[in-house]
Structure 1
Amino acid sequence: MSEPSMQPVEDFTKVESIFVRHRNCLLVRGQFTPIFTGYYIHLMESKQRYDNEMDATLKDLLAVLTLHLTARPWAETLAWTINLRAPRVNYFATGSSTFENITGRLFTKDVREPDRNLLYSQTSVSGEKPRVTTVALETNDAIEWIEHYYKQSEQRPAKCFRLDDENYALIAAQPGYDEEWFDELDAKKVAAITEEEQTKVLETRKFHFNCGCSLERILPSLSSWRDRKDELFQGEEFIKVNCPRCGQTYEVRPEDLDED
């Protein structure tokens, strides 16, 4: 067995937004080991475990949503839910450019069976009504989900790639883009864009895996039970409540529902 790497893992995944001159395309790329490390620490601490294939798909979803967030304007919060027919599962991921965080989880119990695979996207900006988009999907591959989303919702082509060493890249066409060049792009060509094309870094954002949930944030959802504690707890010392965003479990005791 080889010795484990002694190189430190950064706390954040740095995501670059790069304009490809003369091709009129936006390249967004990042190395996702920091986010994936945070994700696995979270699973360990919250005692969650996923099927290997579903786990890999959720990691892809976390990566592509982070890239998409970086391609979008600042101050947006995005939430994607993917409802699949087979396996019957909901993938959920959400992130915020304001707080530079990304989180997600799987739902495998009591999942509604849709008549087709669907992606539900919600975009939230402070002070505005959330915008919701629904896109039908044809595959179970998160890389193809983001490409299909761009085609149907953004109404412009995009390509997404898993590269070596947990690097991911998204390249989205802009008005007047070089169609022939774009159509010929593959993983090898995308990995070499900054060496072979004229590019300009537009901005850099940093993301980490973090939900931001806490017992204090969970309690308001139980406020309607404040006068019905006996019915809620049924003689138990505490109940367990899961965060809907990341699956973290919290123990709630009757006294926690008392008003300050």
Structure 2
Amino acid sequence: MEIQEEFTKVESVFVRHKNALLVRGQFTPIYTDYYLHLMQQGIRYPADLDQMLKDALAMLTLHLVARPWADTIAWTANLRAPRINLFVTGGSIQESITGRIFTEDVREPDRNFFYSQTTTVDGAEPRQSTLEVDGRDPVSWVSQFYDQSEQRPARAFRLEDENFALVAAQPDCDLEWLAGLDEAAVAAILETEETKVLETRRFRFHCGCTLERILPILGGWRERLDDLFEGSESINLQCPRCAANYVVTRDML
């Protein structure tokens, strides 16, 4: 079955007089294709990890829309007890977001760490940041990330019907108003505040991986095929971005 991707539209809205940026989207289309991907690949995450990954996909999408178009961003959270790596990546130019969870062979840290890498199309060195985060809720990580890495306050909100919102401070932001926001107030901003839609971007759940792109991972094994295949006719290779499975045979290498 071929996945027919649907797009989530994400609005960037300037809140006048409060000097804040509201980024909001309804994520059912992305989640639908995410679950189709899991079904195709025979992947089933525990309910709590599944929700974490979905929340992280939404949070990174909103952050991407708050950033310049050229940015491609990857977030990795290395969490303890139980130890996992939560990975999401995406970009506005590609109009795509993807991610996965690693549960095997994960180094257990003494604290929860969050890593962000931002790459641009101009060839500049990727910008990286690392911070310690509290808890296991990706929505709550956003304010911690913005405080340390973006050098401005921001708050993220999980709303009804798979809607999410990010409110980020702009110069001369009303910080008291920002700090006092709750889910109900954020859901009603377009009715209670003077706003202007700046732009709309769209995203889908899509990795773009192919067997041809995955095979170079095994380049170092070409002289040790017996060690790699261990008597088997084929091995399974997993995409590091979305966990899609590919069957690799000796003649492919």
TM-score by length of structure 2 reads: 0.95
Q: 1:119 aligns with which of 96, 114, 120?
A: 114
Counterpart code for 2:118: T
Q: After TM superposition, give the deviation of residue 35 of structure 1 in Å.
A: 0.5
Partner residue of 1:6? none
Identify unmatched segments of 5+ residues in structure 1: 1-8
Larger mean Cα displacement after TM superposition, 105-114 or 223-232: 223-232
Q: After TM superposition, give the deviation of residue 42 of structure 1 in Å.
A: 0.7
* Kept after mapping to 1: 8 A contact 2:157/2:166: yes
Where does 1:213-224 land on structure 2 (aligned, <5 Å)?
Answer: 213-224=209-220
CA deviation map 1:178-214 (0-9, x unaligned): 1222122111111111112111111111000011111
Q: After TM superposition, give the deviation of residue 10 of structure 1 in Å.
A: 8.0
Partner residue of 1:74? 69
Larger mean Cα displacement after TM superposition, 226-235 or 204-213: 226-235
1:108 lines up with 2:90 in the alignment: no
Partner residue of 2:10? 15
Detail structure 1 runs of 4+ shifted over 3 Å in the superposition: none
Matched-pair identity in %: 61
Q: 1:89 aligns with which of 84, 88, 93?
A: 84
1:133 lines up with 2:114 in the alignment: no
Q: Distance in 2 between matches of 1:218 and 1:44?
A: 21
Q: 1:209 aligns with which of 199, 205, 208?
A: 205
Q: Distance in 2 between matches of 1:185 and 1:222?
A: 50
Where does 1:16-35 land on structure 2 (aligned, <5 Å)?
Answer: 16-35=11-30
Partner residue of 1:164? 160
Q: Distance in 2 between matches of 1:235 and 1:84?
A: 36
Q: Distance in 1 between matches of 2:186 and 2:219?
A: 51
Q: 1:239 aligns with which of 232, 235, 239?
A: 235
Partner residue of 1:5? none
Name the SS for the 2:6 alignment partner.
coil
Q: Distance in 1 between matches of 2:250 and 2:233?
A: 8
Identify unmatched segments of 5+ residues in structure 2: none
Partner residue of 1:3? none
Counterpart code for 1:22: H
Q: Distance in 2 between matches of 1:70 and 1:64?
A: 10
Counterpart code for 1:139: G
Partner residue of 1:184? 180
* Kept after mapping to 1: 8 A contact 2:20/2:167: yes
Q: How many residues align?
A: 249
Name the SS for the 1:221 alignment partner.
helix
Q: After TM superposition, give the deviation of residue 121 of structure 1 in Å.
A: 0.5
Q: Distance in 1 between matches of 2:183 and 2:38?
A: 30
Q: Distance in 1 between matches of 2:173 and 2:192?
A: 17
Name the SS for the 1:165 alignment partner.
coil
Q: Distance in 1 between matches of 2:144 and 2:206?
A: 27
Taking a change above 3 Å as real, the CA distance of residues 247 and 97 of structure 1, as seen in their structure-2 partners, is same
Q: Distance in 2 between matches of 1:193 and 1:135?
A: 31
* Kept after mapping to 1: 8 A contact 2:5/2:204: no
Taking a change above 3 Å as real, the CA distance of residues 190 and 138 of structure 1, as seen in their structure-2 partners, is same
RMSD (CA atoms) = 1.3
Name the SS for the 1:93 alignment partner.
strand
Partner residue of 1:153? 149
TM-score by length of structure 1 reads: 0.93
* Kept after mapping to 1: 8 A contact 2:5/2:33: no
* Kept after mapping to 1: 8 A contact 2:13/2:196: yes
Q: After TM superposition, give the deviation of residue 234 of structure 1 in Å.
A: 2.8
Counterpart code for 1:96: G
Q: Distance in 2 between matches of 1:170 and 1:70?
A: 10
